Structure 1
Amino acid sequence: MRISEVEIHEFEYDLPGVGSAGGNWVYDPDARREPPGFVLTIRTADGTEGNYRGFAFTPPMVAQIGMVAEEHLLGRDPLEREGIWTELWRALRHTDHLGLGPIDVALWDLAGKHHGASVSTLLGGYRERLPTYASTFFVDEEADGLDTPEAFADYAEACLDRGYDGFKFHGHPDSRPEFDIAICEALDERVGGEMDLMIDSSSLYRTYADAIEVGRAVDDLDFFWYEDPLCDGGVSGSMVRKLVEELETPVIGLEHVRTGPYGTADHLRDEALDFVRSSAHLDGGITGVMKAANTVESFGLDVELLLGGPAHAHAMSAMRNSSYFEHGLLHPEVDWLHDQGFEGEPESLDDDGTIRVPEGPGLGVEIDWEFVEERRTGHTVFGG
């Protein structure tokens, strides 16, 4: 069995009520965004295929897939995922490896269909349902949005009623630590003790003093984790180590660092993190996040996956050291793109607040080709 064709369908999502502030997506009832997405299909001569639906960083991902498709994919045995992964990690070493994740996920989907088994089964997965937390949009300025600490507390209460076990908010896009602290306090007063609470500062704080100020506040409120506060994106291990030393709340990071399991090991060796972020979308696919999870587990710590998607559900089903599936981005007035591009609602929340790991061969999801064709903006085929 050999790869005979690599196909990319590019399209646009539809997000009414979504605007931007400081480069971060926020609720804006007068705005509408149509961000780019894509479907990557890797196909063999006998018609077996695997798919990946992309929703973030589409232009560089598509460009990088094009860089390696003919030389490194066509003619290869698609079941040799480890060899392909290693080869592509080197081939894309100058470009942050963004094209590797989609390719690897599509290869896992293909392998599952070839073997008639789910990706979870191939990974040795044992969890069928995953505890889930609500992950919100950034702070906005709309009266019916998430514009005040009280609005966040109201929304957290609604998410608690919906069944979520945890609640995470993204801070003020203008980097306002005092405002973020007020949200933390409002959340603790309203749902503290009933939900695990997290803050994702998304590398917004411009000074170490700001990061420490917010960190000490969440220490007092017993937050579950404190995520990516530093404006360097967590690249500076020495800076994060100093933060970890001074705070009691676990610091989670590496969302914005594309060094894979290797940089993860360096940060943990230097005690520069408590928890680790990893992403099948950005960090080398399912193969990449499983390497990261095993690395983090060897240090006795936890790995948490960035945003959702079926690849993360399958990977998390086989991870011992992962607490939550991230369901986001969420807002009381916005229908996010969770399921756009898929048939049905593979990321729907059950009444008990869990996400089910999709069943069926491969990723267990079907592409909504009608949606993709209606909103298609580009089409590229290599091989065939």
Structure 2
Amino acid sequence: MRITDVASYPIRVPAADPPFVWRDGLRGSPPEGEAAVLHIRTDHGVDGVAMCPRRGSALMLADLLDRVLREELVGQDPLRREWLWHRMWELDRIEELPLYLLGLVDTALWDLAGRLADRPTWEVLGGYRTSIPAYASTVTYSSIAEYLDIADQALELGYPAIKLHAWGDARRDAKLSVALREHVGDDIPLMFDGSAGFDLPDAVHVGHALSDAGYLWYEEPMREFSVTAYRRLADAVRVPLLVAETSDGAHMNSADFIQAGAATFGVRA
């Protein structure tokens, strides 16, 4: 079996309705835009597809296919996924591929493998679970009272856990974290996502509050460029750190992503 063609298609992604906001310093929900679908065809009539939902990706993917990827992929065995992944990794050295496009070929090839086997791709990957728990993941709201109301709604809908996205103000965020714990009690797992909004001293301040309130994890408190800063944060707080989603994690292939994400599945409240 050989790859015979690789194509990309633009698709419209609507704006969020209603729109939402993130912490101070970050833009809120994106407007309507154009995303991309990658389509890999073979001489056996089995195709693979993958979607990149990032707005603006359609133009970048089309350019990348025309300049680099079509020549690399056409004629290759689509079942040599590991070898083709490493070709993408080598190309990244020169092309400096956008991180959200780096694993797109790998994802499409796994989709193709599932279609060839006539099985869901998660089974071809070696599935472990047939269901996973979901947690309610907030956006950023205007007040503690609004967060507590959203938490009540999430729990009424049956979500067993809640993750906060707050304001990016260490003192205010710490107060919110404690207030939510007091509101829901000790038995509800809580998590906090800082959206990389703090420097080290503020990250430590929030981390102490989360530790004292028994939070399950502390996600992305700082930008990921200083391993030393994260080492100091880890030494200073007891709450587990979940970090580097926009750096090292983005260089995983799709199998790594699925394995890493198998334990949790986030949905926005």
Matched, 1:254 2:244: yes
Q: Are the equivalent residues in 1 in contact too, given 2:46–2:112 (CA < 8 A)?
A: yes
Gaps of 5+ in 2: none
Residue in structure 1 matched with residue 169 of structure 2 by the alignment: 176
> Does residue 235 of structure 1 match 2:237?
no
Which structure: greater helix fraction? 2
* Ranges in structure 1 where 5+ consecutive residues have no aligned partner: 27-31, 140-145, 260-277, 294-302, 306-315, 317-322, 332-384
Give the counterpart letter for 1:51 in structure 2: V
Answer whether contact 1:12 1:36 (CA < 8 A) is retained. yes
Partner of 1:325: 265
Q: Decide which structure has greater strand share.
A: 1
- Tell me the equivalent position of 2:28: 25
Could you tell me how far apart the structure 1 residues matched to 2:97 and 2:189 are?
A: 32
| Amino acid in structure 1 at the alignment position of 2:43 | A
Q: Cα distance 1:177–1:4, how it changes in 2: closer, same or farther (>3 A)?
A: same
Task: Among all aligned residue pairs of Structure 1 and Structure 2, give the percentage whose two residues are the same amino acid.
Answer: 31
**3-state SS of 1:11 partner:** strand
Shift of 1:186: 2.2
Tell me: CA distance 1:176–1:208, structure 2 relative to 1, closer, same or farther (3 Å).
Answer: same
Partner of 1:6: 6
Q: CA deviation at 1:50?
A: 1.1
Match of 2:204 among 184, 206, 212: 212
Task: Give 1:96 shift.
Answer: 5.1
CA deviation string 1:224-244 (max 9, x = no partner): 0001111xx222111101100
Matched residues in 2 for 1:224 and 1:19: separation? 25
Match for residue 283 of structure 1 among 251, 254, 259: 251
Is 1:34 paired with 2:32?
yes
Which residue is equivalent to 1:102?
104
- State the distance in 1 between where 2:31 and 2:176 align: 27
Counterpart residue type for residue 104 of structure 1: D
How many Å separate the matches in 1 of 2:33 and 2:47? Answer: 26
Q: Secondary structure at the match of 1:214?
A: helix
Secondary structure at the aligned position of 2:211 is classed as helix
2:71 equivalent in structure 1: 71
**Which one-letter code corresponds to 1:160 in the other structure?**
L
Distance 1:288 1:125, change over 3 A: closer
CA contact (8 A) 2:50 2:105 kept: yes
Q: State the structure with bigger RCO (CA 8 A, min sep 6), 1 or 2.
A: 1
The alpha carbon displacement at 1:101 in A equals 1.3
Q: Give the direction of change, closer, same or farther, for the CA distance of 1:194–1:35 in structure 2 (3 Å limit).
A: farther
**TM-score with structure 1 length normalisation?**
0.63
- The 1:157–1:326 alpha-carbon spacing in structure 2 relative to 1, beyond 3 Å, is same
**Partner residue in 2 for 1:313:** none
RMSD (CA atoms): 2.2
Kept in 2, the 8 Å contact 1:133–1:166? The answer is: yes
- Using a 3 Å threshold, how does the CA distance of structure 1 residues 241 and 72 change in structure 2: closer, same or farther? same
Describe the shift of the 1:96–1:234 C-alpha distance in structure 2 as closer, same or farther (beyond 3 A): farther
Partner letter of residue 244 of structure 2? L
Counterpart in 2 of 1:119? 121
Deviations 1:244-269 (Å, cap 9, x if unpaired)? 01110001101121x3xxxxxxxxxx
* CA distance in structure 2 between the aligned counterparts of 1:121 and 1:106, rounded to whole angstroms: 15
Counterpart of 1:106, as a letter, is: A
2:214 corresponds to which letter in structure 1? D
2-structure distance, mates of 1:97, 1:76 = 23
Task: Give the secondary-structure state (helix, strand or coil) at the position aligned to 2:242.
Answer: strand
Structure 1 residue 61 displacement after superposition: 5.7
Which residue of the partner structure matches residue 216 of structure 2?
224
Aligned counterparts of 1:103 and 1:215: Cα–Cα separation in 2? 38
TM-score (norm 2): 0.88
Q: How many residues are aligned here?
A: 262
